[in-house]
Amino acid sequence: MNRNKILAKLGLMGLMASMMVPVGSQAATGQLSPRSATLNKVAGGSTNVTATFKFTPSSANSGSSVKSIKFEMCDSPVETTTCTAPDGTATMAAATSSSQSGTDMVNAYGSPAYTGATAVTFTNGSGNVFNSGDGIETFAVGGITIPTAVNKEFYFRITTYNSNATFNGTTEVDYGGIAVSTSDTVVVSGTMPESLVFCVGTSWSTSCNDITNATVNLGTFSPVASNTGTSVMDASTNASSGYVITVNGTTMTSGGNTINAMGDQSANVSTCGTTSCTSTTGSSQFGVNVTKTSGTGSGAAFGGYDSVGTGGKYRFFTGDTVASAAGPTNSNLFTSNYVVNVPGSQAAGLYSTTLTYICTATF
């Protein structure tokens, strides 16, 4: 083979090698690391998506002036391959700058200078110096439409340049590819029905699940002392008009012998009237008052049974409202306080009564 043929072959090999380098640019010498991209919407086909990019300039090019930053959305992260859209609907044509932050960023790159189906470039004519020691830079790009397919992997590419000529600057500074994915949506649903939770007992810890007992032992009666005891009740409802709690039963009796009910004997009286509501030893008296202990919402003791509002006085009349709420409530705990006084002439016997508290919700 003569010398001219050898030179011709060497020249062809040199031409083929030079064609592998993109015209007008030079491959980046540094990697943006660490780097990430977070999407605010990941359902396949989502529009107006904001991708928040975080990256750190490479130490190899620390101190370089960056005049443009290009973000691409591709089906491959490889820098030396053509950026092809992940599918026919994915696009960055409407991309905007959402926000920028970081020591070297500080909102220095304004509205997109160049936009296309797969890329958007932001520029700064005077350039910003990127230093690797300055930490993470954040650049949020909005207005993106991501691929339609669910659970589809695709890629973003970030390239920084030392100039701001169209999509590709003269010389690349740093580069980084990032894998992201669409995902399917998970629909979680349930139904909250009309609800009323009500319980009565003598011992309560945190909820109706742990309320216990149903007997109040007032002990041995004496004309020189009052006998007292308590029970509790708890009410929760989502009824728009709340609830009403009534007390139903009789005064305390032993066979044909009775202890007088306190207060005027007519429904829902809020004052004592002519019949005493004050606990007095040596009198024939049985009464109840109610104190709200805890819970949220408008639940409150009612009328003549409000131990606070009546100054600790008592009454009893079957069917009376003892507590109520005007709207939805959560775990209104009430304490029912009982008192018995007897005169020295009270007939001997075992006195008792069975009281039923009824809670009615209005939806």
What is the tens place of the pLDDT at every residue in 327-355?
Answer: 999 999 999 999 999 999 999 999 999 99
Residue 166, CA distances (Å) to 48, 113, 173, 258 in order:
24, 8, 16, 101
Please state the pTM of the whole predicted model. 0.62
Average of pLDDT values for 175-186?
94
The mean predicted confidence, pLDDT, of the chain is 88
Asked if the model's pLDDT at residue 165 lies above 70, the reply is no
φ/ψ region of 206 (left if φ > 0, alpha if ψ in -120 to 50, else beta) reads alpha
The sheet with strand 64-74 has its strands ordered as 30-31, 172-181, 153-161, 64-74, 119-130, 114-115
CA–CA distance, 172 with 74 (Å, rounded to integer): 18
Provide the pLDDT confidence category of residue 14 given band limits of 50, 70 and 90.
very low
Q: Identify the bridge partners of residue 243 per DSSP, sorted by sequence position.
A: 325, 361
- Examine the pLDDT at 85 and tell me if it is beyond 90: yes
CB-count exposure of residue 13 (10 Å: 0-12, 13-18, 19+): exposed
Q: What integer pLDDT is reported at residue 150 of this predicted model?
A: 93
Among the ranges given (123-127, 128-132, 161-165), the one the predictor scored with the smallest mean pLDDT: 161-165
How many C-alpha atoms does 36 have within 13 Å on its Cβ side? 6
In the numeric block, which tokens belong to residue 228?
A: 């007292």
According to the model, what pLDDT value does residue 23 have?
31
Nearest to 316 by CA among 253, 255, 266: 266
Helix (H) or strand (E) holding 64: strand 64-74
Asked whether residue 220 carries a pLDDT value surpassing 70, the answer given is: yes
Q: Judge whether residue 240 has pLDDT over 60.
A: yes
Q: Is the dihedral of CA 4, 10, 15, 16 positive or negative?
A: positive
Q: Worst-scoring range by mean pLDDT, 11-15, 193-197, 277-281? A: 11-15
